Structure 1
Amino acid sequence: MEWFSAPEYWLGRLALERGVAAIYLIAFVAAARQFRPLIGEHGMLPVPRFLARESFWEAPSLFHFHYSDRLFATVCWVGAVTSGAIVAGLADLVPLWAAMLMWLLLWVLYLSIVAVGQTWYSFGWESLLLETGFLAIFLGNERTAPPVLTMWLARFLLFRLEFGAGLIKLRGDSCWRNLTCLYYHHETQPMPGPLSWFFHHLPKPLHRVEAAVNHFAQLIVPFGLFAPQPIASLAAAIVVITQFWLVISGNFAWLNWLTIILACSVFDRSSLAAVLPVPNPPALAGPPSWFAALVIGFTVLVAFLSYWPVRNLISRNQRMNMSFNPFHLVNTYGAFGSVGRIRREVVIEGTDDDEITDQTVWKEYEFKGKPGAVRRLPRQWAPYHLRLDWLMWFAAISPLYAYQWMTPFLLRLLRNDRDTLRLLRHNPFPESPPRFVRAQLYHYRFTTWRELWREHAWWHRTLIGQYAPPITLEKEPSQPASGD
C-alpha cells in the first residue's frame, strides 16, 4: 500500500500531534480550575440539573452514568496527564494500537466535558479541538509513515475553518465589505490583549489593508492548500503568519493556535528544507492492514458527514460555529460575522453598608481578563481560556446571554464563595462578604495617545446605567437579573 503512506509529512504529523496534545493539556487544566463555580454540583449551571433534562444522545457524556465534582476533577486531570504524556513523546514509544487508544481516551474525556458544559462551552474552538482530536486518532505514530488520507483530511479541516471564517465576514457585516471593520474590532473584541490598544491606533489606511489581507488569506489562500508542493506549503505559511497576527492582537482561547498547528501539518520536508535545516526522516514502516482499514473507514465517515458543513458553506444563510451531530465531528466554523462599533462592559460592585443611600460607597470586583480598572493594561491569556470573562462580554451585549447565570453569580459573591472568587482577580471584601451587590453598565473606549500620556489610563469609561439592581441575601430576587 505504497499510495497510503506520506513519509515526506513526518514533521508535519509530528507538529500536528504534539500541538493538539498541548492544546488538550491546556483545555483540561482550564476545565479543572474553573468547573466548580460554573457547572459543578453547586455551580451557577449545575451539571446534574442539566443531565436531568438531556438524554445521552443529545449530550453524549460519561457523566450520564454518574456525576460528582470529584469525578469531574478526575476526568480533567486524567486528560491532562494523558495529553502531557503525548506531548512528551510517549505515544511514539508504545504500540500503534495503544497510541490510538490514548488519543481516543482524550477525545472521549473532553467530549464528556463539552457535552455538559452548556453556555460556558458553546464556542467554536471546543468543536475544533474535538474534531481535530478525533482526527489525531488516525495519524499513527513513529512506528508507521503518516497516512496520506488523514493528512489530507487535516487540510480539509483547515480549509473549512479558514474559508468559512472568510465567507461569514463577506456575507455578514457591511464593514468587512467596505474594509472598515478593523476601525472598531481591536477595541470591541471580547477580550483585548496587551497590544490591542496599539493595534487600534494604527492608521486607518493600514486597517483597511489589514481587512483586505484578511479576505485574501481566508477566501483565496485556502484553495492553495490543495495545490501541489511547494504552493501548498506557501499557502500554509500565509495562514500561519496571519494567525500569529491575530494571536498578538487579542485573546481567542486556542482558536488561532489550533489553526496554526493544522497549517503546520501541510509543510512537507522538501519545502521546509528549502528554508530551514531539517533532519532526515526516520525509517518508517508501512501501515498494518487493520490500521489502513480504520483510516479508510474514517475517511468515508468524514466524506459522509461533510455534506452538511459544505451545504452550510454555500448557503446564503450560512451559520458559523455549528455542529451537525452531538459528537462534534466535521463542523462548520466562522468568526466575527458582525463587529460591534462600541464597547459595553458590565461592572460588578458591592457594598457592606446596611442600607443603600446616596452616600453608599460601592467597591468594584476586578476580573482577570476582561476590561475593568481603566489604568490596567489588558493581559495575554490565550491559549488559556477564561470562561467567565468571555461570557461577561456577551452579557454586556444583551442580558439575554446572562439570564441563566448572572443572578446565581451575584448570589455567590454575596456569600464570598471561595470557588467563585478564584475566577476573579480581586475581591474587595476579603474579610467578610458584602451586604449588597449590583451590576452597572459602562461604555468603554480606548484612550487616545494624549489621554494615555496625561492620565496613564488605557481605557476611558462612561456610565450608561444600571444593569442589575442591588440584591442581598435577605431578599433574593425571584427573577434573573436583567439590564435596562
Structure 2
Amino acid sequence: MMEWTSYADAWLGRAIYEHGLGLLLLVAFVSSIAQFRALLSSTGLLPIPAYLKATKFWARPSIFGARYSDAIFLTVAWIGAGLAALTATGLTARLPWWAHTAVWAAMWLLYLSIVNVGQRWYGFMWEMIICEATFVGIFVGPASTTPSTLVVWMLIWLLIRIELGAGLIKLRGDSCWRDLTCLDFHHETQPMPGPLSWHFHHLPKPLHRMETAANHVVQLVVPFLLTAPQPVRTWAALAIALTQAWLVLSGNFAWVNFLTIVLALSLVDASVFGVSAPSMTAPDPAAQGVVIAVAAVVLVLSWWPLRNLLSKRQRMNARYNPLLICSSYGAFGSIGRVRREVVIEGTADRSLSASSQWLEYEFYGKPGDVRRRPPQVAPYHLRLGWMLWFAALSPAYRIGWFERLLARLLHGDPALLRMVRVNPFPDGPPAYVRVRLYDYRFTTRAERRQSGAWWHRDLVGTVNDPRRLREPPVRT
C-alpha cells in the first residue's frame, strides 16, 4: 500500500532505474570521450575555450567555468564513466544513503558540465532528459531503504512531459500527424535510419495509419493513466515501454527511446505480478527532509513546462533554467517529405578539370553508399552524423562548424578522420573538397531485388564549390 512518505512496492522500479540509467550514462560519457577531440577540444570544430570566453558562467554553469583544459575535460568524462559503470553493475545501490546520493550528484554535475559546454553537439532532447533523470536519481535512495513516494511522482511528471509533450507538438504541428500519413515518410526521412527502417517504410499504408493512431493514444491518453492507482499505472507504463521498443526497432534516436523505456519500467509495481518487496528500512530522516525540499522546488519549477504544454505556441524542447530541471520535451512536430543529404567529396588533382576524379567521404551512421544497409547505432549517439543531417536541411544549421569541417578534411586532421567511416584519401589529404546535395529515397522492393541497393539518390545541386587549403595546418 502506498503511503505518503514511502512506497515499498516501488523497489523493482527503483532497481530498473538504477541499472538502466547507469548503463545509459555510461554510454553518454563514453560517447563524449570518443568524439571529444574532433568536436569540442581546443582544436575541435566548436572549441570549448572559445565558447567559455563568450558565455557567462551562470548562463551555462559548468565545472569548466573555473578552469578548462582538454585533459580536464577527459578526466571529468572518465570519472563520470567510472561512476556510471559502478551504478550500472549495482554497486552504487549498496552504499549508505549519503554515499549513494553523492555518487548520483557527481554524475549529474559531471554530465551537466559537459552538456552546458557542448553547444550544437549536445543540443538534443535526450541530453536534456538524461540530465533531468540523473538529477532525480540523486534522491532515489539505496536498495536498503524504502523508495520515496515523492520521487516516484517526480518520475511520473518527467515521463508525462516527455510523452504528452511529444504528442501535443505533433497535433499542433504537421498536418500529416492529424491525417495519419506521417509514417508514409518518416521512416525514410528520419535523421538516422536503422537496419529495419527500409522494411518499416514498406509496410502497407493502412498499417502506417494504425501505427500513427496508436502513437497518438499512447502519447496523448496513456500518460494520464500514470497518475491512476495500481495496477492501472503499471499497465500504462508497460504500454509506453512497448511503444518505445517499437521505435528502437524502426530507427536510431540515440538513447532517448531506451531512456524512456527505463523511466516507464521504473513505475512498474512489483506487487502487480505477485512479487513481494524485500526487507527494507525506512529512509533516514535527513534524506526524507531533502526529498521533501527538492519536491517543493520541482513543484515550483513545473509552472513553466506546464504552461508550455497548455500553450497553442508550444515549444518543442525548451530549457527554463541552466540546471536542466523541469524542461519541456517533444519530438518531430514536423516531418520531412524528402530526404536531403550533404555529400562531401575530395580530389587529389592539383589542377581542376572536367576529368578530375572526385571521391566521397562517408560518415558513420549517415547514408552515403546506396548499397550500404543503414546500421544499428542507438543507444550510442553519433553527434557529427546527426548534425550533417541537419546541415542538409538549411544553411543555418551549418553556421560555425561546417566550414571548419571542410578545412579539417583538407588538413587531414587525424581526430576528425577517426570519425569518418570511409576516408578516400588514406595516404594524404585531398587538394580540393566540395559539397554536393542529393535527394535520397529508399529503393522499392523491385529495385532492391534488381540492384541490391537500399537507397536511390539524385543529385540536386552544389552546396560548396571546390575549395583548397588556405589555412595553416591545424595542430592536433
TM over 0.5: yes
1:397-412 matched pairs, under 5 angstroms: 397-412=393-408
- Give the whole-Å Cα distance in 2 for the aligned partners of 1:470 and 1:39: 26
CA contact (8 A) 1:163 1:222 kept: yes
Task: Give the 3-state SS of the residue equivalent to 1:425 in structure 2.
Answer: strand
Q: Normalized against structure 1, the TM-score is what?
A: 0.96
User: What residue number does 1:424 align with?
Assistant: 420
Letter in 1 for 2:413: D
Q: Write out per-residue CA displacement over residues 306-349 of structure 1, whole angstroms, 9 at most, x where no aligned residue.
A: 00000000000000111100110011000000000000000011
Q: Write out per-residue CA displacement over residues 205-230 of structure 1, whole angstroms, 9 at most, x where no aligned residue.
A: 11011110000010011111111111
User: What residue number does 2:360 align with?
Assistant: 364
* 1:435 correspondence with 2:427: no
Letter in 2 for 1:114: V
Q: Write out per-residue CA displacement over residues 275-312 of structure 1, whole angstroms, 9 at most, x where no aligned residue.
A: xxx5x422110011100000001100110000000000
User: What residue number does 1:72 align with?
Assistant: 73
User: What residue number does 2:378 align with?
Assistant: 382
Q: Write out per-residue CA displacement over residues 109-166 of structure 1, whole angstroms, 9 at most, x where no aligned residue.
A: 0011000000111111011000000000000011211111101110111011100000
User: What residue number does 1:391 align with?
Assistant: 387
1:145-156 matched pairs, under 5 angstroms: 145-156=146-157
CA contact (8 A) 2:93 2:100 kept: yes
Q: Write out per-residue CA displacement over residues 224-276 of structure 1, whole angstroms, 9 at most, x where no aligned residue.
A: 11111111111111101100000000000111111100100111112233xxx
CA contact (8 A) 1:239 1:263 kept: yes
User: What residue number does 1:194 align with?
Assistant: 195
Residue 447 (structure 2) aligned to one of 434, 445, 451:
451
- Give the whole-Å Cα distance in 2 for the aligned partners of 1:154 and 1:186: 30
User: What residue number does 1:319 align with?
Assistant: 315
CA contact (8 A) 1:2 1:286 kept: no
- Give the whole-Å Cα distance in 2 for the aligned partners of 1:93 and 1:16: 14
* CA shift in 2, pair 1:80/1:443, >3 Å: same
- Give the whole-Å Cα distance in 1 for the aligned partners of 2:231 and 2:186: 34
CA contact (8 A) 2:18 2:93 kept: no
User: What residue number does 2:369 align with?
Assistant: 373
* 1:129 correspondence with 2:130: yes
Q: Write out per-residue CA displacement over residues 14-68 of structure 1, whole angstroms, 9 at most, x where no aligned residue.
A: 1011111111100000000001111110111110000001111011011111111
> Number of paired residues?
471
* CA shift in 2, pair 1:30/1:475, >3 Å: closer
CA contact (8 A) 2:3 2:149 kept: no
User: What residue number does 1:469 align with?
Assistant: 465
Letter in 2 for 1:216: V
Task: Give the 3-state SS of the residue equivalent to 2:459 in structure 1.
Answer: strand
Cα RMSD for the two superposed structures: 1.1
- Give the whole-Å Cα distance in 2 for the aligned partners of 1:3 and 1:171: 37
User: What residue number does 1:169 align with?
Assistant: 170
Task: Give the 3-state SS of the residue equivalent to 1:145 in structure 2.
Answer: coil
Task: Give the 3-state SS of the residue equivalent to 2:438 in structure 1.
Answer: strand
Task: Give the 3-state SS of the residue equivalent to 2:286 in structure 1.
Answer: helix
Q: Write out per-residue CA displacement over residues 414-444 of structure 1, whole angstroms, 9 at most, x where no aligned residue.
A: 1111100111111110111110011100000
- Give the whole-Å Cα distance in 1 for the aligned partners of 2:121 and 2:54: 18
- Give the whole-Å Cα distance in 2 for the aligned partners of 1:475 and 1:95: 56
1:294-305 matched pairs, under 5 angstroms: 294-305=290-301
- Give the whole-Å Cα distance in 2 for the aligned partners of 1:213 and 1:287: 40
- Give the whole-Å Cα distance in 2 for the aligned partners of 1:180 and 1:430: 45
The ranges of structure 1 where at least 4 consecutive aligned residues each deviate by more than 4 angstroms after the TM superposition are none
- Give the whole-Å Cα distance in 2 for the aligned partners of 1:4 and 1:475: 63
| Larger deviation, residues 455-464 vs 263-272 | 263-272
User: What residue number does 1:252 align with?
Assistant: 253
- Give the whole-Å Cα distance in 1 for the aligned partners of 2:147 and 2:420: 44
Percent identity of the aligned residues?
Answer: 53
The alpha-carbon deviation at position 475 of structure 1 amounts to: 7.0
- Give the whole-Å Cα distance in 1 for the aligned partners of 2:41 and 2:328: 29
- Give the whole-Å Cα distance in 2 for the aligned partners of 1:102 and 1:475: 45
- Give the whole-Å Cα distance in 2 for the aligned partners of 1:26 and 1:443: 32
- Give the whole-Å Cα distance in 2 for the aligned partners of 1:463 and 1:2: 63
* 1:89 correspondence with 2:97: no
Q: Write out per-residue CA displacement over residues 338-394 of structure 1, whole angstroms, 9 at most, x where no aligned residue.
A: 000000000011000011110010000011101000000000100100000000010
Letter in 1 for 2:144: R
* CA shift in 2, pair 1:348/1:105, >3 Å: same
User: What residue number does 1:28 align with?
Assistant: 29
- Give the whole-Å Cα distance in 2 for the aligned partners of 1:297 and 1:58: 24
CA contact (8 A) 1:322 1:331 kept: yes
CA contact (8 A) 2:241 2:264 kept: yes
The alpha-carbon deviation at position 469 of structure 1 amounts to: 1.4
- Give the whole-Å Cα distance in 2 for the aligned partners of 1:2 and 1:19: 26
1:165-244 matched pairs, under 5 angstroms: 165-244=166-245
Letter in 2 for 1:342: V
- Give the whole-Å Cα distance in 2 for the aligned partners of 1:475 and 1:225: 57
Task: Point out where structure 1 has 5 or more consecutive residues left out of the alignment.
Answer: 477-484
- Give the whole-Å Cα distance in 2 for the aligned partners of 1:272 and 1:372: 48
CA contact (8 A) 1:445 1:460 kept: yes
The alpha-carbon deviation at position 3 of structure 1 amounts to: 3.2
1:337-348 matched pairs, under 5 angstroms: 337-348=333-344
The alpha-carbon deviation at position 474 of structure 1 amounts to: 3.5
- Give the whole-Å Cα distance in 2 for the aligned partners of 1:474 and 1:150: 56
The alpha-carbon deviation at position 2 of structure 1 amounts to: 5.8
CA contact (8 A) 2:22 2:84 kept: yes
Q: Write out per-residue CA displacement over residues 151-204 of structure 1, whole angstroms, 9 at most, x where no aligned residue.
A: 111011101110000000000000000000000000000000000000000011
User: What residue number does 2:324 align with?
Assistant: 328
| Larger deviation, residues 180-189 vs 58-67 | 58-67
- Give the whole-Å Cα distance in 1 for the aligned partners of 2:457 and 2:80: 42
- Give the whole-Å Cα distance in 1 for the aligned partners of 2:41 and 2:471: 25
- Give the whole-Å Cα distance in 2 for the aligned partners of 1:437 and 1:395: 17
Letter in 2 for 1:383: P
Task: Point out where structure 2 has 5 or more consecutive residues left out of the alignment.
Answer: none
